[in-house]
Chains A and B, each alone.
Chain A
Amino acid sequence: MGKELLGYKGAKPVFLLVALCTVAQSLAIILQAKWLAEVISALFSGSSPYQQAGEIGWFLLAFLARHVISMLQQRLAQRFAEETGSDLRQRLLAALFQRGPAAVRTEGTGNVVTLVLDGIGKFRKYAELVIPRMLGVGITPILVWLYVFATDRISGLILLVTMPILIAFLILVGLAARKQTEKQLGSYRVLSNHFVDSLRGLETLKYLGQSAGHSRSIKQVSEGYRKATMRTLRVAFLSSFSLDFFTMLSVATVAVNLGLRLINGSLELLPALTVLVLAPEYFLPVRMLGADFHATLDGRQAGLAMQSMIREAEAESGATPLPDTKQPAAGEQKRPPQAQGPQRYAIGNANGGSSGLPRKAGKGPAAPPIGKSFAWETDSLLRLTGIGKRYEDGGRASLEGIDLQIRGRRKVGIVGESGAGKSTLIDLLGGFVQASEGTISLDGVPMSDADRRAWREQITYMPQHPYLFSCSLEDNVKFYAPDASRAEVVQAVETAGLSKLVASLPQGLDEHIGGGGRALSGGQAQRVALARALLGNRPVLLLDEPTAHLDIETEYELKETMLPLFRDKWVFLATHRLHWMPHMDYIIVLDAGRVAETGTHGELMARRGVYYQLITSQMEGVL
């Protein structure tokens, strides 16, 4: 445990300093015990406390030194944890925002957010505790023991024997607890989820007329959960019990043993007292580690999970390695800039290491050194050669052997059954995911990994559920063009058919929408996305099933609004709703990851192939 921490930036100096603190602290502990024992034994032999003022002063000094050092040590560890945590978070976010939606799709939004926020917190706690605790266990008992042994051999031997027994028991109990937990892991999960599951399904229960009776089941399951938890805790608490038990037992043994030898006259009071004061200190670091061990375990897990996400992002984005643990982001600036090339620079920006959050106000497409510019001209040639995509190695291909050539500004429809690969093709065209094989090129310039970003900046993407940010309607519309003027926004809003909505909002364009704001209907959200696309004024428009979920009247109206806006763009529209197809210049029909046929609506209907099948199946009535 804790080894991987040393890989983090600045870990080694912290490790050394904390070790130094631990040694100093151990010395203070020994001195504190020594002087306290001296004072007590002097008082015992009849000396007045006022005569002992000097010794008492020394004791006070040692005692305070111990705690001041402890404070310094905590501060060191806390700063280190804070910095390491921030660093990890920055790299994780950079990776996330670089790798893009694919990462979130595999991990789930909730998981990603929890990992970044709670995960970093837990990781910090782990990073803060683990170094002092580990060093504490490694250094303090040894030094304390050496002093005890030098003072009184027999007590030293008692303490020496107890420690391995204690640790052996700790391991045994730990194993038993793990076995116990594993045994009921499945039922445990169900029990603990039951309540949340019930609340989430409350509406359904109500419809089924079962909600009132369900409270009985909640009670039963809660009780079952309590019993299962207690069974686990009975074993789990044994580990701290065994720590306590052996510590207390061995302190008691040392005390009784000292007493007997004092009666014999083979020992003086002073060494006996010193040993008695030091005995609990000998075990303290182990007990502290035991207490914090479980609290830090999930922090370690979180750290590892984040590391692996960063690594995956590196693998996915290929050409742009993120700084690893041993090569902090700051180091990147030191590399010769010419070796990185312009694209690297661009992505280094997104990367934004600890030292180098980018310097310019990120105004997207205007940034000069962004690499090759992909110009989607009226007569450009888009070529896909041998494109294939597998999401898992050896898994089923979502797309396979796609060869397509599309010349000139076109409206392209992409159709096919569910799972035919429509969305994957859109994702590839958008540069959101990387093709497993083959290349996509525009006018002979291939979209390589390095300039996927430049590629993306030519593109507007409208998914089925466009995301509305939690901010004003105007800022939502200006998302691609933050510098647009109010007049331009008003124009875009009007063209997208939102004027009526804006007029009905109390705050107009400044109305807060998205999370925590006014809820918009699916159709209105699509119109906001449309206005956003209009203002962004990028040459390519990717649409992934934009209207299927809408009610038919809204769909009809939205289609009427959208069709004229397609006129001057490259449009790629993937949908099940075939009524769009007669308006397309070119239709790609996908079947099980391959191109089944291409052509216009008329051509494909005449051909009576896959497309014709799709159309006719939708013409049949239900039943």
Chain B
Amino acid sequence: MKQESWLMPYATAHIWRFVLIAVLGILTVLFAGALMFTSGYLISKSALRPENILMVYVPVVGVRTFGIGRAVIHYVERLVGHDTILRILSQMRLRLYNLLEPQALRLSSRYRTGDLLGVLAEDIERLQDVYIRTVFPAVTALVMYGGIVAALGAFDPGFAVLIGLYVCLLVFVLPLISLLLTKRKNRAIKQQRSALYRKLTDAVLGLNEWFVSGRQEQFLRGYEEDEAEVDRTDRQLKRWARWRGLIAQGVVALTVISVLYWTGQRHGEGMLDVTLIAAFVLAVFPLMDAFLPLSDAVEKIPHYEESLARLRAIEAGNARGGLAGAAYDRESVENRNRSGMQHAAKLDLAKNARFLSDAGAGVHILVRDVSYRYEKESLSALATAEEEGLERETRYAVRGLSMDIPPGSKVAVIGRSGAGKSTLLKLLQGVISPSAGSVTLDGSPADHYGDGMASFISVLNQSPHLFDTTLENNIRLGRHDATAEEVDEAVRLARLGPLVQSLPAGLKTRMQEAGQRFSGGERQRVALARILLQNTPVVILDEPTVGLDPKTERDLLSTIFSSLHGRTLIWVTHHLVGIEQMDEIVFMDEGEITMRGTHAELLQRSSRYRRLYQLDRPGVM
């Protein structure tokens, strides 16, 4: 079953640790039982008033050993358990990353927002409970069960069967009933909770509207009704948990009484030494403790299902290879999952390519009569039922597009949302392959470059991610082996100098600590410095100034244009500020180019262009 693929491999990979944890878990229970057993034996034996105190020397030592041993073993068990889990988490994280990495640019924008990725990261964390809360206690209980029945069987097979039945109630019957009774409710409560989560998030995000509408009570009333519904289910679950606890204790009582009768009777028949009566009876309590948490452990199973399902979906999406992706990607996914070696080799290739391209004059990009239509959403496995409505229509995203971008030229692309701008960029980066026509960089198809593309094209988009590390490390992401001078030069060109000087820790300032101090414009400059280090012949600017005020917008554009002088620029823009600097301006609508030319040509030729241009030049009116 696929579901196991997120749990089983790790158990087998760490089998000896798992065995150790199980052994330690069992020893913990055994020692607790042995403590009471020996204590009972000790005082019974003492009550017989043996001649010599040495007669009870062994139980005396035993009592102390078991007492201290139990505490020590339990401590070690917990440490080994957590260490193992953390090792597994490391591996799971790596696996998830390797699954997501190849599809990073194809995840539809909804998934890329980071929220879903955050959820996946949490899912991994949640899986640690599978082992700690469910697997380990269950293994301990089962082994103990077998051991106790076998040990009793050596004394008295009949009685072993009886105790076997009692414990069976705790180990199998009660957990099973519990699972059957609560499974649906647990699932319901989970669904209701996530519905509440959505509802509340929706309301809080739209708080302004509720606030202005004066309809707050209406929302609050509805919300409280839903909460009450969840509370009702929750109350039922808790009531069952209380009853279950009582039933389990009833079984314990039954066991104690049975042991009382059995020991008494056996003693009466002369089959059991008198000193063992107290020993057996007292040992029952700590031993039964091993079985009590099992119902709870089993009941937790539905909690993991959702996380597992999501992780499985990611994997399934990948196995299908991303329908939009080329065969190349599927191969690389598998390669990466198998070994990091080939992977590193590929990276080296990419590096060589970079230095070659540095030497050359740049890249000639040719887009010839390209059309592209989206297949059904390639990652629909990630989509839940409610997102079904999102399937892309299968119309053409771009159609009959031709562009000739010689090295060092500057092209601006303008269009409404949905005009096909992002599809064009993806085609240029080789993330998707054209349905018809060709996109080539220096004569080679763009989609053949794979990860090497980062040596040719860099991207400055609307919200470049700045990692939670130092300013310098963020900049160095452009090229790890950059010298200090190169970093300083990039900082200077991105005009970050004054900002860096104003920070007490300079380039060593952590992004998070600086917190709000970095404005939108500054963040873009950090990303720009990064791209300067990356030093590619082609730079894609994907609306880098959205959300900036006009002054910042102008300053940033001026920095971008001067620092990237001589590179090929492909600039998707929403405003016409700075448009005069471009060699060609392309207007796109519904996947086609509707208007193109230089600024001067368009200004002269198109009244529509003039009207738009005036929006950025309010004084002209």
Q: Do B215 and A482 touch across chains, with their CB atoms under 8 A apart?
A: yes
**B249 in contact (CB, < 8 A):** yes
A273 to B200, CA, bound (A): 58
Of listed A52, A252, A272, residue having the most chain B CB within 10 A: A252
Q: A44-B44, A276-B43, A480-B213 are in contact. Are A215 and B197 (CB under 8 A)?
A: no
A554 to B336, CA, bound (A): 43
Q: Do A48 and B86 touch across chains, with their CB atoms under 8 A apart?
A: no
**B23 in contact (CB, < 8 A):** no
Give the number of residues in A that approach B within 8 Å (Cβ atoms): 168
Q: Do B257 and A56 touch across chains, with their CB atoms under 8 A apart?
A: yes
Q: A222-B94, A357-B221 are in contact. Are A622 and B216 (CB under 8 A)?
A: no
Q: Which residues of B have CB within 8 Å of A252?
A: 35, 39, 63-64, 66-68
Q: A212-B346, A350-B216, A576-B549 are in contact. Are A113 and B201 (CB under 8 A)?
A: yes
Cross-chain contact of A259 among B45, B86, B238 (Cβ < 8 A)? B45
Q: Which residues of B have CB within 8 Å of A86?
A: 224, 227-228, 231
Q: Do A117 and B197 touch across chains, with their CB atoms under 8 A apart?
A: yes
Q: A358-B217, A619-B617 are in contact. Are A516 and B94 (CB under 8 A)?
A: no
**B442 in contact (CB, < 8 A):** no
Q: A550-B574, A581-B618 are in contact. Are A100 and B350 (CB under 8 A)?
A: no
Chain B residues 529-581 with CB under 8 Å of chain A are 530, 534, 546-547, 549-552, 554, 557-558, 561-562, 574-578, 580-581
**B491 in contact (CB, < 8 A):** no
Cross-chain contact of B86 among A43, A204, A225, A516 (Cβ < 8 A)? A225
Q: Do A67 and B249 touch across chains, with their CB atoms under 8 A apart?
A: yes
**B47 in contact (CB, < 8 A):** yes
Q: Do B120 and A230 touch across chains, with their CB atoms under 8 A apart?
A: no
A124 to B576, CA, bound (A): 56
Cross-chain contact of B214 among A202, A214, A453, A553 (Cβ < 8 A)? A453
Q: Which residues of B have CB within 8 Å of A258?
A: 42-43, 46
Cross-chain contact of B575 among A78, A432, A479, A552 (Cβ < 8 A)? A552
A336 to B448, CA, bound (A): 79
Q: Which residues of A have CB within 8 Å of B558?
A: 622-623
Cross-chain contact of A241 among B71, B204, B220 (Cβ < 8 A)? B71
Cross-chain contact of A262 among B46, B340, B554 (Cβ < 8 A)? B46
Q: A256-B60, A552-B615 are in contact. Are A44 and B212 (CB under 8 A)?
A: no
Q: Do A43 and B207 touch across chains, with their CB atoms under 8 A apart?
A: no
Cross-chain contact of B468 among A78, A194, A244, A248 (Cβ < 8 A)? A194
**A474 in contact (CB, < 8 A):** no
Q: Do B196 and A117 touch across chains, with their CB atoms under 8 A apart?
A: yes
A417 to B551, CA, bound (A): 8
Q: A200-B114, A216-B340 are in contact. Are A97 and B219 (CB under 8 A)?
A: yes
Q: A113-B201, A357-B224, A621-B578 are in contact. Are A212 and B451 (CB under 8 A)?
A: yes
A559 to B531, CA, bound (A): 36
Closest to A363 in B: B215
A352 to B209, CA, bound (A): 19
**B100 in contact (CB, < 8 A):** yes
Name the distance in Å between A424's Cβ and chain B's nearest Cβ.
15
Q: Which residues of A have CB within 8 Å of B29?
A: none
Bitwise interface map of A from 218 to 246 toward B, beta carbon under 8 Å scored 1, else 0: 11001101100110011001101100110
**A14 in contact (CB, < 8 A):** no
A226 to B89, CA, bound (A): 9
Stretch from B143-151, B300-308, B414-422 contacting the other chain: B414-422
**A379 in contact (CB, < 8 A):** no
Of listed A113, A506, A536, residue having the most chain B CB within 10 A: A113
Closest to B39 in A: A255
Q: A218-B97, A226-B86 are in contact. Are A238 and B117 (CB under 8 A)?
A: no
Bitwise interface map of B from 43 to 72 toward A, beta carbon under 8 Å scored 1, else 0: 111110110010010011001101110111
Q: A200-B114, A263-B50 are in contact. Are A101 and B211 (CB under 8 A)?
A: yes
Q: Which residues of A have CB within 8 Å of B242?
A: 71, 74-75
A609 to B155, CA, bound (A): 104
Stretch from B77-85, B163-171, B175-183, B362-370 contacting the other chain: B77-85
Q: Do A512 and B389 touch across chains, with their CB atoms under 8 A apart?
A: yes
**A563 in contact (CB, < 8 A):** no
Cross-chain contact of A552 among B387, B414, B469, B547 (Cβ < 8 A)? B414
Cross-chain contact of A622 among B39, B249, B344, B581 (Cβ < 8 A)? B581
Q: Do A515 and B198 touch across chains, with their CB atoms under 8 A apart?
A: yes
Chain A residues 552-603 with CB under 8 Å of chain B are 552-556, 559, 576-579, 581-582
Q: Do B552 and A197 touch across chains, with their CB atoms under 8 A apart?
A: no
Cross-chain contact of A198 among B97, B220, B527, B549 (Cβ < 8 A)? B97
Of listed B74, B274, B468, residue having the most chain A CB within 10 A: B468
Of listed B68, B282, B480, residue having the most chain A CB within 10 A: B282
**B411 in contact (CB, < 8 A):** no
**B338 in contact (CB, < 8 A):** no
**B245 in contact (CB, < 8 A):** yes
Name the distance in Å between B613's Cβ and chain A's nearest Cβ.
9
Q: Which residues of B have CB within 8 Å of A469?
A: 202, 206, 209
A536 to B213, CA, bound (A): 9
Name the distance in Å between B99's Cβ and chain A's nearest Cβ.
11
Q: Do A256 and B198 touch across chains, with their CB atoms under 8 A apart?
A: no
Q: Which residues of A have CB within 8 Å of B214?
A: 362, 364-365, 367, 453, 456-457
Name the distance in Å between A14's Cβ and chain B's nearest Cβ.
16
Closest to B62 in A: A252
Name the distance in Å between A462's Cβ and chain B's nearest Cβ.
10
Q: A202-B100, A482-B215 are in contact. Are A82 and B231 (CB under 8 A)?
A: yes
Name the distance in Å between A411's Cβ and chain B's nearest Cβ.
16
Closest to A193 in B: B468
Closest to A62 in B: B253
Q: Which residues of B have CB within 8 Å of A233?
A: 78-79, 82
A202 to B561, CA, bound (A): 26
Q: Which residues of A have CB within 8 Å of B59?
A: 259
Cross-chain contact of B562 among A60, A82, A240, A623 (Cβ < 8 A)? A623
Q: Do B98 and A215 touch across chains, with their CB atoms under 8 A apart?
A: yes
Q: Do B534 and A208 touch across chains, with their CB atoms under 8 A apart?
A: yes
Bitwise interface map of A from 195 to 213 toward B, beta carbon under 8 Å scored 1, else 0: 1111111111111111111
Q: Do B35 and A259 touch across chains, with their CB atoms under 8 A apart?
A: no
Cross-chain contact of A362 among B110, B215, B618 (Cβ < 8 A)? B215
Q: Which residues of B have CB within 8 Å of A190?
A: 468-469
Q: Do A470 and B202 touch across chains, with their CB atoms under 8 A apart?
A: yes
A63 to B233, CA, bound (A): 30
Name the distance in Å between B553's Cβ and chain A's nearest Cβ.
9
Q: Do B221 and A555 touch across chains, with their CB atoms under 8 A apart?
A: no
Q: Do A207 and B459 touch across chains, with their CB atoms under 8 A apart?
A: yes
Q: Which residues of A have CB within 8 Å of B550?
A: 576, 617-618
Cross-chain contact of B71 among A219, A245, A605 (Cβ < 8 A)? A245
Chain B residues 18-47 with CB under 8 Å of chain A are 35, 38-40, 42-47
Bitwise interface map of A from 50 to 88 toward B, beta carbon under 8 Å scored 1, else 0: 001000100110011001101100110010001000100
Closest to B45 in A: A259
Closest to A49 in B: B264
Q: Do A90 and B71 touch across chains, with their CB atoms under 8 A apart?
A: no
**B484 in contact (CB, < 8 A):** no
Q: A200-B118, A276-B43, A461-B212 are in contact. Are A63 and B581 (CB under 8 A)?
A: no
26 sampled A-B residue pairs with Cβ under 8 A: A43-B260, A44-B44, A44-B278, A75-B239, A86-B231, A109-B204, A116-B200, A199-B121, A204-B527, A248-B35, A259-B43, A259-B45, A262-B49, A276-B40, A349-B217, A516-B387, A519-B110, A532-B209, A536-B213, A551-B414, A551-B574, A552-B612, A578-B618, A579-B615, A619-B617, A623-B581
- Given A218-B94, A241-B74, A256-B42, 19 more contacts at CB 8 Å? A203-B105, A212-B451, A222-B93, A234-B79, A255-B39, A256-B64, A259-B46, A273-B43, A352-B220, A358-B221, A362-B214, A364-B214, A418-B552, A479-B209, A515-B202, A617-B550, A617-B551, A622-B554, A622-B561
**9 A-B pairs with least C-beta separation:** A209-B454, A49-B264, A201-B465, A252-B67, A262-B46, A222-B90, A622-B578, A521-B417, A248-B67
